[in-house]
Amino acid sequence: ICHIKELRKKNNLTQRQLAVLMETNEALISRWEKGQQYPTVPNAFKLAQVLNCKVDDFTPSNTYLLKLN
């Protein structure tokens, strides 16, 4: 479902490094990667920018996974 881990590794980032870039913590990055929680809409766009991809690259197109805030 979620390819955040693969995209993070493709960008040669650790969870800690991604957390710093996202201004969050490693635990949240881990939950995103495991599919236990999904990025909010603002975080999804920021994540796409940091990982040099599109939001669609880490969310399935047929499922609404982003939590609106």
Nearest of 61, 51, 64 to residue 15 by alpha carbon: 51
The reported pLDDT for the residue numbered 61 is 54
* Cα gap 67→64, rounded to integer Å: 8
One pLDDT digit (tens) per residue for the chain, 69 residues = 468 999 999 999 999 999 999 999 999 999 999 989 989 999 999 999 999 999 888 765 544 555 444
The reported pLDDT for the residue numbered 63 is 46
The reported pLDDT for the residue numbered 57 is 82
